[in-house]
Amino acid sequence: MGRSWISLKTIAGFFGAIALTQLGANTSAIAADTVVLRLGLFTESISFAELQKAAKTGYLPESLQPYVQGLSEQQRRFLLGALRTNIPMNVVTVNRLVNSQIGTTILNDLATALARKDKAGVQALRAGLVLGSTSPSGLSILSFIAAYPSKRLEIDLPQAFIVARSLNTAFWRTQQFMLALTGSGLSSDIAPELNPRTPQIAFPFDPSQAGIAQVKILNLSLNDQKRDRKIAVDIYWSTTATPHKPIIVFSHGLGSVRTDLRYLAEHLASHGYVVAALEHPGSNETNTNSALQGKTRIVKPQEFLNRPQDISFVLDELEKLNQTANHPLQEKLATNKAMVIGYSFGGGTALALAGAEFQLEPLKQRCKKNLAIFSLGEAMQCIAQELPENTYRLRDTRIKQAIALNPTTSLIFGETGLTKVQVPTLVLAGSGDKTTPALTEQIVGFNKIPSPKWLVGIIGGTHLSVKDPSTTLDQIGKPNTPISGGEVVGEKAADVRKYVKAIALAFAAQLTPEAKNYAIFLTSDYAQFASTAAFPFRLVRQIPPDAMAVVKKFVDE
């Protein structure tokens, strides 16, 4: 997902920051004058004025103290931060979101926590969100309160707790999975792959270091007239590039830009590879900004098909340049031996190009209900339910390898779509990823991909940790909620980017005569060697049977 990905899930998490549990889960609804928290026969009222004062002073009202005594200082700061935070969406955008099929389903889930005799919770939530977004200061918890169409709104706390605990279920299951893997009781064949140790081998060189080639950047503007798509492409290359090395194509995340992985493109180009980083016009930052102004949708269902087709089109165009006399890229491009690297939404794009099949019938059934429990990645995949067919095959046979960084896979590929991947594949997952939680989006899917394959785990890594620092500057000061925030980016994630440079280079080299020299860096030994105190890295070729039993338990629940 890109930095501008804002959906009704964001509103849901934002709206849910008021009621509190002893476990730190947060959710609630708010009335125009008074918030009433109901627990059986007992109730507690908090006035709108008290909440305004808390937002201004940074101190929670006395009436809330019985509910917040069990919270940590960090959790209290989160609650106060949520009171002061605005969602940058205008009334047109909010209205479209809450009146969409997915929006209505999520509101239905949230409305179960409202104690209303007239059963009009969904309509009330919708009205409060839309009217609240007309406030001069924008949509916030306080503007929602002021706009809510009732003088008194009661929250059923037990039900609110249920809703809160279910928010982004996949993320919390991932944390349980990681604890299970690193705990006791697993068979000894798992331990070498998961527990820290010092490798007993020497490594011949450092693949995270820049190569000797001087990197150049060529900016292209391509026009696919058949699909009416204008595609901007940045080509990272050097005079040392040869067709003996694969061309590498980048696919960015939703609501992002083609510089998502600029540091990685420059690294690979410095080692003699040609990297084409393209921008998908229907799901880039420009499109998302337009959606936030109410001019278009965050993403249209056709975009799931357009993205792989964008990459195929770019390869077609680069082949023309490869044969163009006196062009700087002439005879430097191995367009029939390409590797694709996709991040987030782009990770799903990469897997589709590698042969994975979109299987939408289960998705269409799953996305009809209970969306409040979804992660942002799952909710985004539900947009594909509007596509007319149930299966789509978008493989490009020129793609010989694929890297999927934090990809979305849980719904779009159905039960067997990933079994159709036909090239060597590397999947990367971060244990702290809330947007595309590792267990459901990467680990379960990885088990279905045929070998040869590699699963890289970044313990402590979040969704944005692999991105170029220039594209994550807006994360400073963002609230940490059950479905977003808490991102480890910038200099704090430098160790992650260093390891990504090493494994991406080693993986690309598997399509060259240097394959054997780089194979050692695609091992659990090197992952252990490259690990740091902040980020232990893990690499496996297969998920051990005992660990898969843990996965199956969570999936079946």
| pLDDT computed for residue 191 by the predictor | 39
Alpha carbon distance 359, 390 (integer Å): 6
| Residue 198 to residue 370: CA distance in whole angstroms | 45
Determine phi and psi for 104, rounding to 5 degrees: -65, -40
Q: Between β-strands 86-87 and 42-47, what pairing exists: parallel, antiparallel or unpaired?
A: unpaired
Which residues are bridge partners to 86 per DSSP?
140
Rounded distance between C-alpha atoms, residue 155 and residue 98, angstroms: 21
Q: How far apart are CA 257 and CA 239, in angstroms?
A: 26
SS3 254: coil
Q: What is the pLDDT of residue 120?
A: 73
In whole angstroms, give the CA distance from residue 34 to residue 51.
10
CA 535, 255, 439 angle in degrees (round to 5)? 40
CA dihedral over 497, 550, 10, 161, signed as positive or negative? negative
Can you say how many angstroms the Cα of residue 312 is from the centroid of all Cα atoms in its chain?
24
The pTM of the full predicted model, rounded to 2 decimals, is: 0.76
Tokens of 302: 């056709």
Chain centre distance of CA 71: 28
- What's the pLDDT score for residue 208? 98
C-alpha distances out from residue 274 to 47, 250, 264, 340, 408, Å = 61, 11, 12, 12, 26
Q: For residue 147, what are the contacts with CB-CB under 8 A and spacing of at least 6?
A: 32, 127, 128, 129, 130, 131, 132, 134, 135
Cα(506)–Cα(268) distance, rounded to whole angstroms?
10
What per-residue string of b and e applies to 427-464 under the rule 16 or more CB within 10 Å gives b? bbbbbbbbbbbbbbbbbbbbbbbeeebbbbbbbbbbbb
Query: What is the CB-side half-sphere exposure of residue 377 using CA atoms within 13 A?
Result: 30
CA distance 217 to 28: 50
Strands 274-278, 247-251: pairing is parallel
| Parallel/antiparallel/unpaired status of strands 229-237 and 216-224 | antiparallel
Residues contacting residue 196 through CB under 8 Å, at least 6 positions apart: 528, 531, 536
Positive or negative: CA dihedral 541, 507, 534, 25: negative
Q: Which residues of 360-467 form beta strands (DSSP E)?
A: 391-393, 399-405, 425-430, 453-458
- Can you give the pLDDT at residue 530? 95
Q: What is the predicted pLDDT for the residue at 79?
A: 67
CA-nearest of 382, 391, 229 to 310 is 229
Domains detected in the chain: 8-167 (no CATH), 219-556 (3.40.50.1820)
Q: How many other CB atoms sit within 10 Å of the CB of residue 329?
A: 18
Across the 557 residues of the chain, what is the mean pLDDT of every consecutive 10-residue run? Answer: 42 40 32 66 75 81 65 64 70 73 67 71 83 82 80 70 60 62 38 51 93 97 96 97 96 96 98 98 92 85 98 98 95 96 98 98 86 78 95 98 97 97 97 88 94 93 94 76 78 96 98 97 93 89 74 67
In sequence order, the 6+-apart residues with CB closer than 8 A to the CB of 95 are 130, 133, 294
Determine the Cα–Cα distance for residues 111 and 195; give it in Å rounded to an integer. Answer: 44
The per-residue pLDDT for 337 is 96
In the block, residue with structure tokens 């860096």: 521
Question: Residues, the chain, total?
Answer: 557
How confident is the model at residue 29, as a pLDDT?
A: 39
Four-point Cα dihedral 304, 173, 183, 486, nearest 10? 80
Helix or strand (DSSP H, E) at 164: helix 157-166
CA dist list (Å): 453 to 206, 457, 460, 522 = 23, 13, 22, 10
Please answer whether residues 284 and 256 qualify as being in contact, where contact means their C-beta atoms are separated by less than 8 angstroms: yes
Cα 32-53-57 angle, rounded to 5 deg: 150
Burial 488-524 (b: 16+ CB within 10 A, else e): bbbeebbbbbbbbbbbbbbbbbbbbeeeeebeebbbb
What integer pLDDT is reported at residue 480 of this predicted model? 63
What three-state secondary structure class fits 37? strand
Residue 494 CA to residue 503 CA, distance in Å, equals: 15
CA distances (Å), 190 to each of 181, 186, 197, 252, 520, in order?
A: 8, 7, 13, 34, 20
Q: Is the dihedral of CA 64, 65, 67, 68 positive or negative?
A: positive
Question: Which phi and psi angles does 255 have, rounded to 5°?
Answer: 70, 25
CB 468 within 8 A of CB 494: no
Packing angle of the helix pair 121-132, 101-111 (nearest 10 deg):
110
Q: Which amino acid is at 56?
A: K
